[in-house]
Amino acid sequence: MALRRDSPPALPDELIEEIFLRLPPDEPSCLLRASLVSKSWSRAVSGSEFRRRLHELHGTPPVLGVLHDWYDEAIPRFISTTASPFSLAAPDCLSWRALDCRHGRALFLSNLSDTLELLVWEPTTGSQWRIPVPGAFLSDFPSAAFKGYFPDAELEWRTPTAAVFCSADGCDHRDCLGGPFGVVFVFSVSFEEDTDHEEYLTSAGVYSSETGTWGELTLMHDEFGNYTCISSVLVGRSLLYFMSDGGAILEYDLAGHALAVFDTPHSDDYERFNLMLTKDGGLGVSESLHPQLKLWSREESGSTDARWFLTRVIYLDKLLPSAALINPEDSVLVLGFAEGANVIFMITVAGLFTIELHSERVKKVCDKNSFCNLIPVVSFYTPVPPGEHHGPPSSNLGEDRAGRSRK
């Protein structure tokens, strides 16, 4: 007579969760595979409380990868930086241009001029919301918003950019998914009244997911810039910074709805600067100079004439492989900074590398080097059970990840 073998007792849910919490957070495929074992395991790793405990245990969220705008069928839109294979179904680069990523959300601008809109996407849940750009930027904006300044002028404007942020009061950003968010939209306009005279206006407006509307534009004279080449950084809860292709740094105060502009530490070669945050969360810039990477910090004075201080010099020839430093004057540049993880992305002739600024640990991401801007995705990854997604921040926003309209 054959002996019957009883199944071993199931592990308590609390113990399963404790085990999952100790899986490497920078290897999201581990949790993904675990979630596919059973419904109970899927529930254990998908809840908001589990995400909060991940933050409490590990502190700094990992860099999952980067988004980019370089069109090449051989390069996926989302490039993973994890050791094991991991992918996210990012919006197609033919239809959407990646602009920003922060607080668990990425932001895109449509590439089609006749249907210009913004797309907010939660990489870890797949949820999406579409937002119309401010009416002042559309075809009727000369008469509606700016034509009163120079009624006889010809108008031109640069490609806009935008930034996304969590707008929940007092949020610690440990579980922003599905919550309220805001978007800042920035663009510059030139007014040409004659061949000898030209005036400029830079404009910024804020969208609230809670009201589903744009606020009034904030205008500033005497600055004209294309802010699409470098992603923004957020200092504290209210100061957003953008850098133009001419090296000017634009500050937008979310609390006071004010614009200000100032220069990089020096303007000899502004293309070698990139925005970043200092170790204490203030505004900084990196400067790529062979064989050095210089890190600058701006004093907190609340004034546009505040000074820059050189805070650190990193010697790249001691970190990067020799193959990456061939002809470095033309090809070693910082193309992205990961907020919350203190990691920079450097492009070289040998490919794309990350440098952890705290430890100076270097990791090669890929052999590709045809990029102009990189937008890091920083987040703890927790799988979403099939058929589930987070609710919209507002009842009248865009579409969810299944394409259903939100009525």
Which CATH number applies to 60-143+156-378?
2.120.10.30
Per-residue CA distances from 262 to 184, 274, 306, 328 (Å) = 19, 14, 9, 28
Q: Tokens 């899927």 correspond to what residue?
A: 42
Cα–Cα distances in Å, from 334 out to 9, 16, 286? 53, 41, 7
**Tokens at 371, concatenated:** 């990029």
pLDDT of residue 268 exceeding 80, the answer is: no
Identify the band that residue 259 occupies on the pLDDT scale cut at 50, 70 and 90: very high
| Residues 139, 81: Cα–Cα separation, whole Å | 40
For residue range 351-396, what is the model confidence (pLDDT) as tens digits?
999 999 999 999 999 998 888 889 999 998 888 765 555 444 443 3
- 308 by DSSP, 3-state: which? strand
Say what the alpha-carbon torsion angle 286, 287, 292, 298 is, to the nearest 10 degrees. -60
Q: Where are the domains of the chain?
A: 12-59, 60-143+156-378
Structure tokens of 308? 């820059």
Integer Cα distance of 382 and 124 in angstroms: 7
pLDDT per residue over 83-118, tens digit each? 888 889 999 888 899 999 999 999 999 987 667 899
Highest mean pLDDT: which of 118-132, 146-160, 210-224, 287-301? Answer: 118-132
The pLDDT of residue 326 is: 82
- E strand or H helix at 54, and its extent? helix 48-58
391: which DSSP letter?
A: P
pLDDT at 196: 60
- Mean pLDDT lowest among 2-6, 284-288, 347-351: 2-6
Inter-CA distances, 266 with 1, 263, 273, 284, Å = 87, 7, 10, 13
Higher pLDDT, 34 or 194: 34
Of 143, 116, 100, whose CA–CA distance to 240 is shortest?
100
How far, in Å, are 17, 155, 236 from residue 99 at the CA level?
A: 35, 25, 20
CB-based burial label for 176 (10 Å; 0-12, 13-18, 19+): buried
Residue whose tokens read 């919350």: 340
3-state secondary structure 311-364: EEEEEHHHCCCHHHHCCHHHHCEEEEEECCCCEEEEEECCEEEEEECCCCCEEE
Q: Output the CA–CA distances (angstroms, integers) from residue 280 to 238, 240, 311, 340, in the order listed.
A: 16, 16, 12, 11
For every residue of 100-120, DSSP letters joined together read EEETTEEEEEES-GGG-EEEE
DSSP string, 193-261: EETTEEEEEEEEEEEETTTTEE-PPEEEES------SS--EEETTTEEEEE-TTS-EEEEETTTTEEEE
pLDDT on residue 59: 85
360: left (phi over 0), alpha (psi -120 to 50) or beta: left
Of the two residues 405 and 264, the one the predictor is more confident about is: 264
Beta-carbon count within 10 A of 15 CB: 10
**77-81, 94-98, 237-241, 300-304 — which is least confidently predicted?**
300-304
Per-residue model confidence (pLDDT) at position 211: 95
**Which residue has better confidence, 7 or 57?**
57
Q: What value does the mean pLDDT of the chain take?
A: 83
Distance CA 396, CA 170 (A): 24
The answer, yes or no, to whether residue 321 has pLDDT greater than 70, is yes
Does 152 score more than 60 pLDDT? no
Q: What is the predicted pLDDT for the residue at 7?
A: 59
The pTM assigned to this predicted structure is 0.87
Distance between CA atoms of residues 37 and 32, nearest Å? 9
Contact 224, 202 (CB under 8 A): yes
Q: Is the pLDDT of residue 344 over 90?
A: yes
Q: Is residue 128 scored above 90 in pLDDT?
A: yes
Average pLDDT over residues 148-161: 65
Tens digit of each residue's pLDDT (9 = 90 or more) over 48-87:
788 888 888 988 889 999 999 887 777 889 999 988 888 8
Confidence of residue 302 (pLDDT cuts 50, 70, 90): low
pLDDT at 339 over 90: yes
Tell me what pLDDT residue 300 has. 74
Burial 253-292 (b: 16+ CB within 10 A, else e): ebeeeebebbebbeeeebebbbbbbbeeeebbbbbbeeee
